[in-house]
A and B are shown apart, each in its own frame.
Chain A
Amino acid sequence: MSRLLPRANLEGVVAALRSAGYRVVGPVRRGSLVTYDEISSAADLALDVIITRDSIKKFVLPRTEVVARFNRDAAGKVSVLDATAAPQPTVILGCRPCDAAALPIDDLVFAWDSTDRFWFSRREAVRLVTIACANCDESCFCTSVGGAPDSPEGSDVLLTETAAGDYEVQALGERGAELLAKFPGLRDAPAADRRVAAVPQRFDLSAAVTALEKNFESPFWRQTALRCVGCGCCTFVCPTCHCFDLVDEGPAYHSERRRNWDACQMKNFTLHASGHNPRPWQEHRYRQRIMHKFLYYPSRLGRTLCTGCGRCVRACPVNLSLLQVVSDLAAGRANALPTSAGEVKK
């Protein structure tokens, strides 16, 4: 036996969660774009898309967030005001497993040497109701990085579509059980066929990691990254990329310290005040993204910093596919290159 949510009851779930005080968000279509946004009815949900353009990251790490406020009064006295807002309790309905899995991975860095209260206060306020993927495309690769299209990791409630189009329901942990108790119209039903995408394994992760260990200095990076334009597309759509910048902005006497998304692919990212840049070429910046995700983060914090959602692959304006690059590494293509390729001097 399993617990079943008839599809027609999705509407009741949205209403119940909203009246319980939650902001409910899910995949919403606006023209050609599907992003996670607030919904007021299940009819707003675009559940037919493989994956939204942006990730759920923005609900825990907004693209811009005030972390402190400064005031300077007429007498010239400066006071620093606390800016922590109480985050709005939010349910993400129709989250994808590769989005949900990103949050526990990023928790590790936000709790590493100090606890990031901005991240964790939002994290506390968010509940994930994930729908297992019934379809995938050629850019999906969760199964190559330890995930699965029906993985419960990071979710509070997992819904898996049945052949009849209803949802089999699974609560995870106490938070999940508490949330599921608010779902109306659940019933017991015999286990039915589940619709779960068959995501092929596209590369051997450990072979890719070994290749990275050996190829910090390799012409592979120049050959690969010559076309990279150094934008923030791949990192900003990524659910696991978490780098930020701190800036002071606003009127001089009442300004704000804001934390904004930043991208290791942009050339200013490591630019020192002296003018020196330790990652002077795009190949260094591109290498950093791959190394950080597949070698540095796992060796320091024990988890691969990629859930295989494929967003960066789809979004890259120059079709520089991380999936292709990591597959090439795993297949030993970097090892085969001579290391003597000439440096280009500016």
Chain B
Amino acid sequence: MPAEGRQLEKLRHLARHALESGAVSLVIGFAEGTVPGRAAPLFCTAPADADRLIFDGYCTLNLANYLTRPEVRAHQTVALVARHAVAKAVVGLVQESQVDPTRVRLIAIHCPDLDGLQQDVAWTVADGLQTLDEFLPTAAHLHDQELTPERFAAVAQVESKSSHDRWDHFAREFDKCIKCYACRNVCPLCYCERCIADKNQPQWIDTSSTQRGNFAWNIVRAFHLAGRCIDCGACERACPMDLPLMELNRKMKKVVAERFGYVAGYDPKADLPLVTFKKDDPEEFIK
């Protein structure tokens, strides 16, 4: 059996065993999609469901997004088929007290690079079902890849423009936005029960898809995820209008790394840079 087939067998075995043994009552992974190049989230509750699990570089959705769904919360313990970005999102959710780490298990998928999104990615699956604490040391080395210049190539390009050209660039891009909120709804860290974009008493931002409304929406979203976004790219891939959302998210990531020395997704016990008050904060306005 080729190596990849063996890994798939192992993945299915882990999922099947997790359900059979009662360690979890739900495994969320991926099944074959309806068209080539797409994978579909799969919710396994019976051991036999595990036979439909697959994994490849098209499994790009961030499955941690489902952990905050009420239908999923109703399960005592849930396992996720988790490439690194999924695990990072679980870290964020635990850190923000949205998910109880004792109720989550990972079937960790290791890829040679941070994203594991190439079509023919070589992947291996961890030896057993893991808790977040068991998983974390096995991925700590990927932290080094988070801030490589290649990751910020698109950001650098935007930064190199004059402010006038930058405005034009974003005006053109935001104009495409149809306010479908797919970016928000696939984002594991966009879990607010009532998003600020949906509030109308009082209304904070225009709901209309006008230039003003679109700027407000896309900027508010990027700001609210600053220091929290784990750089999975799910939002940008979900966007039906191909907005370059990662330009904004990565810019925020870069600023947070420079100013606070912080990269999200590695330490569930870390203080979140933008919501933590420190008495010795050097900024005057905060006191």
Interface set of A (CB-CB < 8 Å, partner B)? 30-33, 35, 53-54, 63-64, 137-139, 222, 226-227, 229-233, 236-237, 245, 247, 249, 258, 260-261, 263, 266, 268, 281-282, 313-315, 317-321, 323-324, 344-346
Kindly list 19 other residue pairs between chains A and B, CB separation below 8 angstroms, not including A54-B241, A321-B35.
A33-B242, A35-B176, A54-B178, A138-B35, A226-B71, A227-B40, A229-B186, A231-B238, A236-B240, A247-B208, A249-B203, A260-B179, A261-B179, A282-B71, A313-B34, A318-B40, A319-B33, A324-B34, A345-B74
Please name the residue on chain B nearest to A247 by beta carbon: B207
Given known contacts A249-B206, A318-B40, A318-B61, A323 and B180 CB-to-CB distance under 8 angstroms: no
Residues of the B chain whose Cβ atoms lie less than 8 Å from the Cβ of A137: 35
Number of A-B contacts (CB under 8 A): 116
* 5 A-B pairs closest in CB distance: A232-B180, A317-B238, A231-B182, A319-B40, A229-B185
Given known contacts A236-B240, A319-B33, A319-B38, A263 and B208 CB-to-CB distance under 8 angstroms: no
| A232 CA to B74 CA, complexed, in Å | 26
Q: CB distance B181 to A231 under 8 Å?
A: yes
Partner of A261, one of B176, B178, B240, B242: B178
Given known contacts A313-B34, A319-B33, A344-B74, A266 and B182 CB-to-CB distance under 8 angstroms: no
In the complex, B213 has a CB within 8 A of chain A: yes
Q: CB distance A266 to B181 under 8 Å?
A: yes
Interface size bracket, B side: 35 or more
Given known contacts A64-B210, A260-B208, A261-B209, A319 and B34 CB-to-CB distance under 8 angstroms: yes
Residues of the A chain whose Cβ atoms lie less than 8 Å from the Cβ of B135: none
Q: CB distance B186 to A268 under 8 Å?
A: no
Please name the residue on chain A nearest to B193 by beta carbon: A267
Q: CB distance B179 to A232 under 8 Å?
A: yes
Q: CB distance A320 to B40 under 8 Å?
A: yes
Q: CB distance A32 to B242 under 8 Å?
A: yes
Please name the residue on chain B nearest to A223 by beta carbon: B43
Given known contacts A226-B71, A281-B71, A319-B39, A233 and B238 CB-to-CB distance under 8 angstroms: yes
Residues of the B chain whose Cβ atoms lie less than 8 Å from the Cβ of A261: 178-179, 209
Q: CB distance B34 to A321 under 8 Å?
A: yes
In the complex, B70 has a CB within 8 A of chain A: yes
Residues of the A chain whose Cβ atoms lie less than 8 Å from the Cβ of B238: 231, 233, 317
Query: What are 8 A-B residue pairs whose CB atoms fall within 8 Å in the complex?
Result: A33-B176, A63-B209, A139-B35, A227-B43, A233-B182, A249-B213, A320-B40, A324-B34
Q: CB distance A344 to B70 under 8 Å?
A: yes
In the complex, B198 has a CB within 8 A of chain A: yes
Within 8 A of A (CB), among B43-57: 43
Q: CB distance B209 to A260 under 8 Å?
A: yes
Please name the residue on chain B nearest to A281 by beta carbon: B71
Partner of B182, one of A33, A139, A229, A314: A229
Please name the residue on chain A nearest to B198 by beta carbon: A268
In the complex, B13 has a CB within 8 A of chain A: no
Q: CB distance B65 to A63 under 8 Å?
A: no
Residues of the B chain whose Cβ atoms lie less than 8 Å from the Cβ of A321: 34-35
| A335 CA to B279 CA, complexed, in Å | 63
Q: CB distance A233 to B240 under 8 Å?
A: yes
Partner of A236, one of B40, B178, B234, B237: B178
Within 8 A of A (CB), among B182-229: 182, 184-186, 198, 200, 203, 206-210, 213
Residues of the A chain whose Cβ atoms lie less than 8 Å from the Cβ of B39: 319
| A342 CA to B238 CA, complexed, in Å | 31
Q: CB distance B241 to A53 under 8 Å?
A: yes
In the complex, B101 has a CB within 8 A of chain A: no
| A64 CA to B178 CA, complexed, in Å | 9
